[in-house]
Amino acid sequence: MTTATLSKWGNSSAIRIPNQLIKRLNLEEGSEIEILVTEDNELLLRPKTKPVESNEELRNHLKTLLSKVKQDTRHEEIDFGTEGNELL
């Protein structure tokens, strides 16, 4: 556990986050931190996660990747027959 001291910063108060925690959490100056107060009045700080890409962004990314597939590497399905206990 690490402790920090509450300090005055303009009209607000601030705490300094030790460098080893910044590195461990892959934070950098400008990173957004969520501040929550639990039901037990505990203060919880956690890095704000980046928003998840929308389905449209993912579709466009997939289209870009598929456009890079060479046509001559595609082939028809090959039937090797039944090899084991497959259900047909």
Q: Provide Rg for the chain, Cα atoms.
A: 26
Residue 77: pLDDT band (50, 70, 90) is confident
pTM of the model: 0.49
**According to the model, what pLDDT value does residue 88 have?**
60
Instruction: Report which of residues 57 and 19 the model is more confident about.
Output: 19
Which pLDDT does position 38 carry in this prediction?
Answer: 95
Q: How is domain 12-69 classified at the architecture level of CATH?
A: Ribbon (2.10)
Average pLDDT score over the chain: 86
**Torsion angle of alpha carbons 70, 71, 73, 75, nearest 10°?**
160
The reported pLDDT for the residue numbered 58 is 85
Q: Counting runs of H as helices and runs of E as strands, what totals does the chain give?
A: 2, 4
